[in-house]
Structure 1
Amino acid sequence: MTGCEDMDVSEGMIKVVVDHQKCQHPSDLYRNLQQAGVRSAQFIPLVERDEKGCPTAGSVTAEDWGRFLNTVFDIWVREDISRISIPLFDETLNRWCGRTGQTNRQTLSQMNARCQSCSLLQFYRGECPAYCDDSGKGGLCAGYHAFFDHTAPHMRVMRDLLKQHRSPMELMAMLR
């Protein structure tokens, strides 16, 4: 299972649309990317709604998305830190290190109160990727929460290594 039909290579990065089926086999998908020599991969969750506003059968659920991200992260953090760039992982580490961009005030003003008070807003900075529905409720929030909770211990270690002017790749050896 490679899912090549949902991959796009542009500017040196492969973009993979992750649907419900791919969420069932995250290790296989990631191993195929490793074997193909991919150096940068962006995972884009498929979230589609039918005419009634309900997610389609091929769409990713929040739980599936969280499990997918956590499984891929668990492989990446043990084998591929600094070898394969995954923007969500890289950006999360940047946020842990205090390297954040400007918060988009216009986007913040358009967010609902629930999103504005979200404990994870520090990671989104007004650019929440939670794929909100028409009511403003995030469809993937639980998955992102699971990801940020799951990765926090490793992100702390990588942040601390960087503060000591050491490579976050040292974490891979620590986990062996």
Structure 2
Amino acid sequence: MTFGNDKFDKLPQQCRECDVLFACYGECPKNRFIKDKYGNKGLNYLCKGYYRFFHHVAPYMDFMKQELMARRPPANVMTWVRQGNPK
């Protein structure tokens, strides 16, 4: 239980303020060895890449979520992309 609590409780300020925290939760503690933009230790060295990736896939994930909620196949994202989306 301590490990799970520490994994979240020891996140640096930059992580706690991040809009994609829900997706990575700081990732694995063994990868948290750089300083955040505030100078706090404990930022994941993959943070920039994760941040870019999660922002890149967000519109596609949102579309697939809407498809699932409408009981349609999320694979419809392929047609949506071929139609020039996201716009």
Q: Which runs of 5+ in 1 are unaligned?
A: 1-103
- Whether the 8 Å CA contact 1:132–1:138 is kept in 2: the answer is yes
Identity of matched residues, %: 28
Partner of 1:145: 51
Distance change (3 Å), C-alpha of 1:161 and 1:109: same
Q: 1:95-114 maps to which residues of 2 (within 5 A)? A: 104-114=4-14
1:160 is paired with a residue whose SS is helix
- Whether the 8 Å CA contact 2:33–2:45 is kept in 1: the answer is yes
Once the 2 structures are TM-superposed, how far is the Cα of residue 123 of structure 1 from its aligned partner? 1.2
Distance 1:129 1:155 in 2: 23
Structure 1 position 168 matched with structure 2 position 74: yes
Distance change (3 Å), C-alpha of 1:133 and 1:115: same
Computed over aligned residues only, the root mean square deviation of the Cα atoms, in angstroms, reads 2.2
Q: Which runs of 5+ in 2 are unaligned?
A: 35-40, 83-87
1:137 is paired with a residue whose SS is strand
Q: Structure 2 counterpart of 1:113, which letter? A: Q
Q: What is the number of residues matched between the two proteins?
A: 72
Higher helix share: 2
2:73 is paired with a residue whose SS is coil
Per-residue CA deviation, residues 1-53 of structure 1 (Å, 9 max, x unaligned), is xxxxxxxxxxxxxxxxxxxxxxxxxxxxxxxxxxxxxxxxxxxxxxxxxxxxx
Partner of 1:57: none
Distance 1:122 1:175 in 2: 25
- Whether the 8 Å CA contact 1:157–1:171 is kept in 2: the answer is yes
Once the 2 structures are TM-superposed, how far is the Cα of residue 129 of structure 1 from its aligned partner? 4.5
TM-score normalised by the chain length of structure 2:
0.67
Partner of 2:27: 128
Q: 1:21-40 maps to which residues of 2 (within 5 A)? A: none
Once the 2 structures are TM-superposed, how far is the Cα of residue 170 of structure 1 from its aligned partner? 1.2
Moved over 4 A (4+): none
1:114 is paired with a residue whose SS is helix
Distance change (3 Å), C-alpha of 1:116 and 1:144: same
